[in-house]
Structures are given as structure tokens and as C-alpha cells.
Chains A and B, each alone.
Chain A
Amino acid sequence: MLRVEGLTVHHGPVAAVVGLDLEVRPGEAVALLGANGAGKTSTLAAISRLVAATSGTVRLDGRPLGRRGADQVARLGLLHVPEGRRVFSTLTVHENLLVAGSARGRRGGGRRAGRALLDEVYDLFPMLAALRDRPGWALSGGEAQMVAIGRALMGMPRVLLLDEPSLGLAPTVVDAVYAALARIRERVPLLLVEQDSARAFELCDRAYVLRSGRLALAGTAAGLRGTPKLVAAYLT
């Protein structure tokens, strides 16, 4: 589904990610773990073309993304829910969802498909329906996270990249977010960046662990969960 080969990303002179290979197969949820500054966010940003990679190839369904820009990559169905939600503050909740329909591009049919998707999102996050006309700047962190995820769903993702969806949220809100993600992963492959490894292992099939931009460990969630000390060593 999604295949990353030899990905290297620099921030100025500093290498954030070096020679990373990873893969997300159909029907799979994959976690990308690591300590602060290990290169997780840079990896996602390079995959979605938010930042330019120094080298490496990203393939979606076997086809390299080439020199496409972030918006074109999104329209191919590779959707990235960025760190910090990044909800459009001047748009209402509903408009945030509508504008994200652009990502369906030529794949995703007309008005009817859009309306159906909207219903699905409001069904997935019932509390958003009440907030329909609230502007982005007036949302709480949890509400904003739901909008950010719902926004990505509006683009009919073929692979969903999620960056720290639990960051800064109250535990009950995190529960709600992960409940929704559990439903989403039944239909969409996920690549999840998460600090909270317990949550990640619960949701995901496999995990990659990064350390200083390089792949340190890889394995099934069950296997890695069985070696908590090892994992902990890399996550601090």
C-alpha cells in the first residue's frame, strides 16, 4: 500500500531521518514510535511532502509519488493529520470538513459522495454535529483533534498518517479519539506516530521504533509489547 525506501530528511545541516525503510500494508495499522526528536514527525512530513526529502522514494500502490506537491499527494489519497491539529481557525467546523473534500480530487465522485462522507464523519464524532457552525479558533483540543481527523476522512484516505493524536488531551478525550481510530482502521490503513506506546500497541498490528533518525527496532505490536524494557530504552 504505502512503501518508503531509503528516506533521508535534513533540517538545514542536521539529518532528522537517515535511510529509513518502512511499509504499511492493506488493512494494517502501523505505529511509528520513538523518543522526542527521533524523526517521527519528519518522516510523516516527508511522506506527505510537507517537507522535501533529501533522498528516498515513497510509493503509493507501487507508484512513486515523484515530484508531486503536498496538495497533489493528498489528492492521491495519502492524507496526513498533522501534529497540533492545524484546524483552520477562521472556518467553521462544517467548513473545515467541506474544504477538505478537495482531497477526493478526481477519485471521489460528486456532491452525493461528499454528503455521505459528511454524514459518516458526523456519525463517527457525534459531538461535532452540535459544533457545526463554531469557528475553528473556538474549539477545545479534543474537538479540534476530531475535526482534524474528520477533515482527513473527507478526502477518502487510502492511507491515513496521524501525528500524535493524543497530545495534550485529557484521558477521557483520548479514549474517545482512539475509539474513533479503532473504527477507522477497519477501513483505512494507518501510520500512527505516538508518544504513548501503550495506546499505539493497542491499536496497531506492527510498529517501527526510531532512534536518532534511524530504524532501531521493528516488529509486531504483540512482540514488542512483550519486551517492554527494550522498547522503553528506545523511547526515552
Chain B
Amino acid sequence: MSGFVTAVASALTQGSVIALIALGFLLIYRATGVVNFAQGDLVTLGAYISYWAYHDLELTLLSSWLIAVVAMFVIGIVLERFAYAPIRHRSEHTVVIATLGAALVIRATIAIWQDTSPKFAPDPFHGDVWQLAGARVPYQNLLVIATTVVVVTAILLLVGHTPFGRSVRALAADRAAASLVGVRVTRTSMLAFGLSAALAGLAGVLVAPTQALTVDLGFGPMLFAFAAAVLVGLGRIGAVLLGAVAIGFAQYVVGRYVAPDYREAYPFVLMLAVLAIRPRGLFGEQVGRRV
């Protein structure tokens, strides 16, 4: 029983982190049509900024988190201006390669700045755990899950009910028509990159205390987030939460009982299985139309 509870806690934590990253991923994809492969390294960068603010600027933990999220918002906008805006009229492949390039630059910068040996990011609960049915679930994991629920709700409201959200959805539905009705393409794309990077930074500061802080922190979760987004069809932002949790469960609940050695591959197995049955993903009626 305690093993099952542990596995579910791991699955929900992983699902939450994936959801935050996938959400950022989708925001940029919907607003600009670009798949941003730098998303994972933005997660890592956010975690390192907070680590630096905490250890070197000696700020309190929560202010170091806040600083990191705000800094990531700015970095997202800088990324949009320098890595995306100059080439957005080129082919999608060029832009995707550019995001990969940005990812490598971010990663190398982190490695030079803070070296690649693992770091320990503290959590506000000093590693305390919640005892539930014999399992020990760190409070930090509960914080990750709770924050994600709040943030995902906020993003859903933002996208569903604000001018920014309508702009993003209009751009996603038909970029050309959106520009014909005057949707502020540049502002929306900058905001989407900024928000997306802030979400990545939030994921980074939240997840780093649950594991070791290394330059690979965000890369693996980004691939899982990609799988989650594809799983639900790169479409509705709300559905991605479901995809993310499904991947967390495949990895930690299924992975606990069936061939645990291969569990890191389960998310992709799940993604491929779903795509084989429904090529547009679980809720993906949009994908075919846009292409």
C-alpha cells in the first residue's frame, strides 16, 4: 500500500512538472507556431537562477524563487527578440533549429557559470515529509502539485477569457486571418515567450528541490512534456494536463509494477501507442486542419 501511495505521489509530481512545461510549450506553439526546444533548458536556467540568488545573493528561498520566475519572464522576451523574431519569416525548420541552438547556448552558459557537478536546491520544508498510509511524501512534492493546479487554472482563465488569450487562440486558429484583424502579433508572441519561460522557471524552482540540480534538470521533463502535448494532440491547453498526468502514471505507477528498468521509456511508448490508434492525438481534431 505504501509503495502504491509513493508511486502515485511520484506520478502526480512528475505529471505536474510536465504539465507546467507542456503548458509553456503550447503557449508558444499556439501563439507563434514554433515548437520551442529551448523549453527544457529554460526550466534548468530558472532553477539555477534561484540557486544563485539563494546561495550567492543570500536571499530568502521564496524571494529567490520569485526572482527566478520574474527573471525568466524577461529572459523569455529576450529569447523571442533575439532567437525568434529575426527569423520568424523563415521556414519552420529554421526556427526549430534556432530554438535548439538557443537551448545549447543556455546549457553551455549554465555549465560555465555554475559547473556541471550536481547541486542541492533546498526546499522551504527542510525535507519534511507527509506520512500517508506508511508512505513518506515530501511536502515539496505536494507543493509542486498544488502550485501546478493553481497555475494551470490561472493560465486556462487567461487563455479563455482575456484579450491576450483570445489573441493567442486566434493566432493558433489562423495566423494570417489573425493578423488581418489586427491582432498584435509581435506583442502576443513576446508575451507568450515571456509567460512560457516564466512557467518553465517556475517548474525549475519547484522541481529542483525534489531531485538533484544539474544542467540536465529540464531536458528529460521537456521530452516528456513534448510527449504529453503530442499525446493529447497539441491542441487544447486544458487537455495537456490530462496528458501530463497520464505520462506520470505510465512512468511511476505502471513503471513500478511492470519492468521498472524501462520506465523512463514508458511515456514515449504511451505516446506512440496513442498515435498509432489516433494519429491526431486523443483530442486532436485541430491538428489536421492547421497543417
Interface residues of A (CB under 8 A from B): 48, 50, 69-71, 74-75, 79-80, 82, 86-91, 95-96, 98-105, 136, 151-152, 154-155
Contacts and interface: CB of A to CB of B under 8 A. Distances in A.
Contacts of B176: 50, 70, 82, 86
Given A90-B286, A102-B163, A102-B184, A71 B173 contact: no
B180 A79 contact: yes
Interface in B170-192: 170, 172-174, 176-186
B181 A99 contact: yes
B167 A99 contact: yes
Contact of B182 (A90, A91, A95, A100): A100
Contact of B178 (A88, A98, A136, A154): A88
Contact of B179 (A70, A89, A98, A101): A70
Contacts of A103: 181-182
B166 A98 contact: yes
Contact of B170 (A69, A91, A105): A91
Contacts of A48: 180
A136 B178 CA distance: 14
B178 A50 contact: no
Given A86-B174, A102-B184, A136-B173, A91 B166 contact: yes
B177 A71 contact: no
A90 B180 contact: no
A69 B180 contact: no
Interface string B147-179: 000000000000000010011011011101111
Interface residues of B, dominant DSSP? helix
Contact of B169 (A79, A90, A151): A90
B170 A75 contact: no
Contacts of A155: 181-182
A88 B174 contact: yes
A102 B183 contact: yes
A75 B169 contact: no
B289 interface: yes
B289 A70 contact: no
Contacts of A75: 182, 184
Given A90-B172, A91-B166, A136-B173, A80 B180 contact: yes
A71 B169 contact: no
Contacts of A105: 182
A80 B181 CA distance: 8
B170 A88 contact: yes
Interface in B78-95: none
Contact of A70 (B170, B173, B180, B286): B180
Contacts of A102: 163, 167, 181-184
B166 A71 contact: no
B166 A99 contact: yes
Given A88-B178, A102-B163, A71 B184 contact: yes
Nearest to B173: A88
A88 B180 CA distance: 12
16 contacts: A71-B186, A74-B181, A74-B182, A86-B177, A88-B177, A90-B172, A90-B173, A90-B286, A91-B166, A98-B166, A99-B181, A100-B182, A102-B182, A102-B183, A151-B181, A155-B182
A-B residue pairs, 9 tightest by C-beta: A103-B182, A74-B182, A86-B177, A100-B181, A70-B179, A88-B173, A71-B179, A99-B166, A102-B182
Contacts of A80: 180
B13 to A, nearest CB: 31
B173 A91 contact: yes
B185 A71 contact: yes
A140 to B, nearest CB: 17
Given A50-B180, A89-B286, A89-B289, 5 more contacts: A69-B185, A71-B179, A75-B182, A82-B176, A86-B177
Most chain B beta-carbon contacts within 10 A, residue among A80, A87, A90, A103: A90
Given A69-B185, A89-B289, A82 B180 contact: yes
Contacts of A74: 179-182
Contacts of B169: 88, 90-91, 95, 99
